Amino acid sequence: MGQTNRRASAWPSLAVLLAVLLSAMQPAIAADSLASEREQLAALTRQLDLNDRLAEHAANTAPQERARYHFDYARLRADLNRVRVGLQDYLLPQRAQPRDPVPLVGDYVRRDRSDDEEPSP
């Protein structure tokens, strides 16, 4: 019966240890996950660039006579660009623009005003 009691009391300590270890691993897993996501989104951006070049080539080689229905390459390229800009905004967020600098006074000598003032009449 003593063996069973010791094993039962070890479970809460083991659970706490496991929880601490998993929580310590969480930032590393999150960092790896974020890096993986960024790599995938960068690859997607490159694929969008390739699709844009293919669409441009297809538009230039498409028959000039217009049928009743035709593919709108300009709209496709605009949508590809819109998605690309969205991905780039996520991957390379704009930093806050610097504020206009306030001019420095440059004169750090402080004069006592009582020396400059005339005595009151």
Q: What does each of the 121 residues of the chain score in pLDDT, given as a tens digit?
A: 555 555 555 566 666 666 665 666 566 556 677 788 999 999 999 999 999 999 999 989 988 887 777 888 888 888 888 889 888 888 888 776 666 776 766 665 656 665 555 555 5
Nearest to 56 by CA among 85, 23, 33, 78: 78
Give, to the nearest 10 degrees, the angle between helix 2-61 and helix 73-91: 140
Which pTM was predicted? 0.52
DSSP secondary structure, 27-61, as one string: HHHHHHHHHHHHHHHHHHHHHHHHHHHHHHHHHHH
Domain residues of the chain, as ranges? Answer: 44-95
- Show the tokens assigned to 60: 């230039």
How far is it, in rounded angstroms, from Cα 114 to Cα 112? 6
CA 98 to chain centre: 19
- Residue 21 exposure: Cα atoms within 13 Å on the Cβ side: 6
